[in-house]
Amino acid sequence: MHAVLKMIAQRLALGALTLFVVSIVIFGATELLPGDLASAILGQSATPETLAALRAQLGLNDPAPVRYWAWLTGALQGDFGVSLATRRPIADMIEQRLGNTLFLALYAAALAVPLALVLGILAALWRNTIFDRVANAGALSAISFPEFFVAYILVLWLAQSGYFPSMVRISPASSLADKLYMSFLPALTLTLVVTAHMMRMTRAAIINLMASPYIEMARLKGASPLRIVLRHALPNALAPIINVIALNLAYLITGVVVVEVVFVYPGLGQLMVDSVAKRDIAVVQAIALIFASAYVLLNLTADVLSTLTNPRLMKRG
């Protein structure tokens, strides 16, 4: 138990350091954007006195390290400041959008994870059959196509036919059934994109174990192929499978920007794109930091779970 706690503490420390570096990159990238922020907000007709007053109000006259520290300490306390475009607290703007993005990610994960596991197990069980070849061809096709292409194909096939809406209109008052129906196409797009990775990893991990001595022993004892896969191969293949599932869950949260824009989904990705168009730098910084935190946290979770499910890695740690 002590070794496990030490390993988790080391991973958390590494994650905190990674987030610190990422926060510097995010702030520095927005600082390098061309043009003057005060001029972009007030327009070309602004007088020098008005520009000077706005720069002082926004703290733009302070050195960059001072502004970075103020932004970072506020973000750690949940205070991302005020939107430059709407003058609303950024935390209030993000709260509802974050819930919508998490709902879409969980919706897609609930579809993708069971589908990927079933397809991967069946492809390994029926290796080199027509089913295996078709599943692999479909997986490679899904990986090859970008998200926006898959989204537009689904809109062409399912939205224009009237089965599902092409634009997602949900609100806090919407029922769960309405949210599931309205969000089906963006969730299906994400499912098709991430299922291929998880299915191929599941198939490869199980096939690699099928030549192991204990699998041969189970065959000699007369165990059925399905029982061999489920009871003997799958538990020992959990480490790489869990790792790829966690990484794809991280993608579902952080890689929704394109899908949300295509379907006009009211999530963080859509808000980020709108904020970039309005040059609302404070909102862009906040959302980028949230995406980075989610990605790092899920990567750490994948690392810890992979270690806990692999005794050999535990001994090394």
Query: Looking at residue 170, what is its pLDDT?
Result: 87
Here the CATH number for the domain that contains residue 272 is 1.10.3720.10
83 part of a folded domain:
no
Cα separation, 253 vs 43, whole angstroms: 35
Full domain range(s) for residue 48: 2-76
Inter-axis angle of helices 130-144 and 184-209, nearest 10? 130
Q: Cβ distance 254 to 294 under 8 Å?
A: yes
Distance of CA 37 to the CA centre of its chain: 30
- Tell me the pLDDT of the chain averaged across its residues: 84
Distance of CA 107 to the CA centre of its chain: 12
Query: Looking at residue 178, what is its pLDDT?
Result: 92
Query: Looking at residue 36, what is its pLDDT?
Result: 65
Instruction: Give the model confidence (pLDDT) of 168-181 as tens digits.
Output: 888 888 899 999 99
Query: Looking at residue 114, what is its pLDDT?
Result: 92
Q: Does 184 lie in the same domain as 53?
A: no
32 part of a folded domain:
yes
Q: Does 43 lie in the same domain as 141?
A: no
81 part of a folded domain:
no
Q: Which of 269, 245, 263, 259 is nearest to 110 (CA)?
A: 245
Query: Looking at residue 144, what is its pLDDT?
Result: 84
Pair of tokens at residue 46: 């602004």
Inter-axis angle of helices 2-31 and 281-308, nearest 10? 160
Cα separation, 174 vs 295, whole angstroms: 28
* Segments of the chain with pLDDT less than 50: 317
**pTM, entire model:** 0.84
Q: Which of 312, 268, 273 is nearest to 291 (CA)?
A: 268
Q: Does 285 lie in the same domain as 185?
A: yes
Q: Does 193 lie in the same domain as 308?
A: yes
Q: Does 99 lie in the same domain as 66?
A: no
Q: Does 94 lie in the same domain as 33?
A: no
Query: Looking at residue 313, what is its pLDDT?
Result: 54
Q: Cβ distance 195 to 248 under 8 Å?
A: no
Q: Cβ distance 313 to 250 under 8 Å?
A: no
141 part of a folded domain:
yes
Pair of tokens at residue 32: 């390098």
Can you list the alpha helix ranges (DSSP code H) found in 160-310? 176-182, 184-209, 213-220, 225-227, 234-236, 238-254, 257-262, 268-278, 281-308
Query: Looking at residue 310, what is its pLDDT?
Result: 63
Q: Does 200 lie in the same domain as 63?
A: no
Query: Looking at residue 186, what is its pLDDT?
Result: 93
Q: Does 97 lie in the same domain as 47?
A: no
Overall domain count for the chain: 2
Amino acid at 62: D
Q: Does 259 lie in the same domain as 163?
A: yes
Q: Does 99 lie in the same domain as 37?
A: no
84 part of a folded domain:
no
